[in-house]
Amino acid sequence: MTPDDLVSGYIDDDLNDEQRAWVESDPVLRQQVLDTSAAIEAMGEVVPTPAEVRERQIDEAMQAFRAEGSASSPNSSASADGSAPPPSPFTPPPPKAEGRSGPGDGDAQIISLEHRRQANRRVNVLVGAAGVVVLAGLGVLATIGGNSGGPLTDNFALDRSADEMDADTSAESFGEQFKAGRDSGSVAAEAGQREAASAEEASDESMEYDSMEDDDSEESDAADTAASGLDSSTTREMAPIVLDAQTSSELLSIQRELAEGPLRPTAESVCADSSNITLAGRVIIGYVPVVVGDTLAELIVMETSRGDRQSQLLTVSDCRTVELG
Amino acid sequence: MGAAKAGQDDAMHQLLDRHYDRLYAICLRIMGNQHDAADACQEALLLLVRKISQFDERAKFSTWSHRVATNAALDELRRKHRRPVSGSDTIDSILKDSPAFDRLVAERMTIDDALLHIPENFRVPVVMRDLVGMDYAEIGETLGIPAGTVRSRIARGRAQLATALGNSDDPNQRQS
């Protein structure tokens, strides 16, 4: 059995106990399970369909439906005597703005690029001020679930050893957590029903960033690993920028504000278009440029399909991860 | 449901309206491009309205309609077998044509772009399993391949999808 078979079988609950234990004890396989699950989740998200296509197709189907009805059912709303069927009481929803629909309509206000630019200019001013505060500090704060303890002297090494420790100690909780997720409907095929549940879950979890500071939280372990928005294989090869604890603290405040504030989708983040970051199943809902030392960076806030908000601090020059301490 | 089966216009319209996005998603991810997906989805809708009176309600409507859409897409795939349009081109044209078309869409297109990197014989079982929710036996029966082959193709397809999305290392470099 190949690693791919083990990962796929684990997701489908199609392994025996020994194979399952093998997956849960292997950090690489565990990560692959999480990554693959994220990909499946992403695939299950509803595809925005152009409104005109949607309406035309439904209209054509309805014409066929009426024709079927008039041919086979004398009691159908299409009358058998050939007269026109009565007008439908159904009122289609009003067309979406700009003739396109998207899953964010109604939930997150989608604003035009020009509006975004104006908003971003306003944000830049605010962030300029924030940047001054940030510069007064040091250190780095991190990707979600980052170390809230003291400053890091070697973030990369610490991160890795933490990962390894997690792998050794939390295989059981990984299995339980994954199974709970699967049982609650993590297969993309059930995404429709899941959306409502996710919304509820998201509101329950609107503590969002509280969990970032809770290093002991079982829940945050796998979630952090699963959702680190960056492809570690590419980003960690580049030297991370290390910030001090105070700067990290300031950035964490900004993160919180972002998480709680009225963020809007943006298409203007330089890093959002970088191949160095992975956005599978995550939607960038806001970003803020910040100054880290003499380096311009972006704090990106993303939302997963579960409604969790996550953030990453990235340098603009090459969209490297800035590891926060 | 009963009203739609009885031929009531508004009930059928609401049913299609409610399920359209999901049906389109299935068609898109099987077909690999929007043009063919629209054709397949239209065919699926026509089948649904023509067969609704035969729907026995032993399964949920969503389950039944997803299978109808899957079969319509597979038929379309067999019939056309044309090279899919590049997802990246699609993103570019959308963003150029409609500046208000937001980032959410672009991200989802990235998923579709990733799916295009997966060979059809792996992509289709993955979509049938993970989007439609069919089990290995059903997929094997529909595609005319053994369940073991389905299992293997799904495993490889999922791994390739994760890799294409940049979530995992190249499968060729993974531990064995």
The CA distance from B166 to B107, in Å, is: 13
Amino acid, res. A45: E
Q: Which chain A residue shows the shortest CA-CA distance from B133? A: A189
Nearest to A116 by CA among A315, A7, A272: A272
Instruction: Confirm whether B96 is domain-assigned.
Output: no
The confidence score (pLDDT) of residue A213 equals 30
What mean pLDDT, rounded, does chain B reach?
77
The confidence score (pLDDT) of residue A317 equals 60
Mean pLDDT along residues A183-194: 49
Instruction: Confirm whether B19 is domain-assigned.
Output: yes
Instruction: Confirm whether B149 is domain-assigned.
Output: no
**Top-confidence residue, A184 or A296:** A296
Mean pLDDT along residues A93-115: 29
Residue with tokens 């994760």: B162
Sign of the alpha-carbon torsion through A143, A147, A149, A154: negative
Residues of A in contact with B110 (CB under 8 A): 279-280
**Top-confidence residue, A133 or A153:** A133
Nearest to B17 by CA among B38, B37, B39, B45: B45
Instruction: Confirm whether B5 is domain-assigned.
Output: yes
Give the CATH number for residue B15.
1.10.1740.10
Query: pLDDT digits over A85-95, tens only?
Result: 333 322 233 33
Residue B61 class from Cβ within 10 Å (0-12 exposed, 13-18 middle, 19+ buried)? middle
Residue with tokens 């300031």: A250
Residues of B in contact with A35 (CB under 8 A): 162, 167-168
Label each residue of chain A as H, E or C: CCHHHHHHHHHCCCCCHHHHHHHHHCHHHHHHHHHHHHHHHHHHCCCCCEHHHHHHHHHHHHHHHHHHHHHHCCCCCCCCCCCCCCCCCCCCCCCCHHHECCCCCCCCCCCCHHHHHHHHHHHHHHHHHHHHHHHHCCCCCCCCCCCCCCCCCCHHHHHHHHHHHHHHHCHHHHHHHHHHHHHCCCCHHHHHHHHHHHHHHHHHCCCHHHHHHCCCCHHHHHHHHHHCCECHHHHCCCCCEECCHHHHHHHHHHHHHHHHCCCCCCCCCCHHHCCCECCCCEEEEEEEEEEECCEEEEEEEEEECCCCEEEEEEECCCCCEEECC
* Domains of chain A, residue spans: 51-99, 113-323
- The answer to whether the CB atoms of A28 and B174 lie below 8 A apart is yes
**Which pair of tokens denotes residue B141?**
């029966």
Structure letter (DSSP) for residue B118: S
Query: pLDDT digits over A51-79, tens only?
Result: 888 889 999 999 888 887 665 544 433 33
pLDDT band at A172 (very low <50, low <70, confident <90, very high): low
**Top-confidence residue, A126 or A48:** A48
The separation between the first and the last C-alpha atoms of chain A, rounded to the nearest angstrom, is 40
Q: Please state whether beta strands A241-242 and A282-292 pair in parallel, antiparallel, or not at all (unpaired).
A: unpaired
Average the pLDDT over each of A105-114, A248-257, A306-315, B27-36 and give the range with the smallest value.
Answer: A105-114
Per the structure, the count of domains in chain B is 1
Instruction: Give this complex's ipTM.
Output: 0.75
Chains A–B, number of C-beta pairs less than 8 Å apart: 231
Instruction: Confirm whether B110 is domain-assigned.
Output: no
Query: pLDDT digits over A131-147, tens only?
Result: 433 433 333 333 333 33
**Top-confidence residue, A146 or A303:** A303
Residue with tokens 């299935």: B26
**Top-confidence residue, A79 or A18:** A18
Q: Please state whether beta strands A322-323 and A241-242 pair in parallel, antiparallel, or not at all (unpaired).
A: parallel
Asked if residue A24 lies in contact with residue A171, where contact means CB atoms within 8 angstroms, the answer is: yes
The confidence score (pLDDT) of residue B7 equals 75
CA distance B9 to chain A (A): 6
What mean pLDDT, rounded, does chain A reach?
54
Average the pLDDT over each of A267-276, B12-21, B119-128 and give the range with the smallest value.
Answer: A267-276
Average the pLDDT over each of A28-32, A298-302, B106-110 and give the range with the smallest value.
Answer: B106-110
Residue B20 is inside which H or E element, if any?
Answer: helix B9-31
The confidence score (pLDDT) of residue B28 equals 87
Structural domain boundaries enclosing B32: 1-85
pLDDT band at A220 (very low <50, low <70, confident <90, very high): very low
The confidence score (pLDDT) of residue B172 equals 47
Nearest to B25 among A35, A47, A85 (CB): A47
The confidence score (pLDDT) of residue A183 equals 60
Is pLDDT above 60 for B121? yes
Q: Is A97 on the interface with B (CB under 8 A)?
A: yes
Asked if residue B158 lies in contact with residue A4, where contact means CB atoms within 8 angstroms, the answer is: yes
Mean pLDDT along residues A34-49: 80
Bridge partners of residue A288, in order along the sequence: A299
Instruction: Confirm whether B8 is domain-assigned.
Output: yes
Residue B83 class from Cβ within 10 Å (0-12 exposed, 13-18 middle, 19+ buried)? exposed
Query: pLDDT digits over B64-112, tens only?
Result: 899 999 999 988 888 775 443 333 333 334 333 433 333 434 444 477 7
CA distance B25 to chain A (A): 5
Q: Which A residues 45-74 touch B at CB under 8 Å?
A: 45-49, 53-54, 57-58, 60-62, 64-66, 68-69, 72-73
Average the pLDDT over each of A116-120, A154-158, B52-56 and give the range with the smallest value.
Answer: A154-158
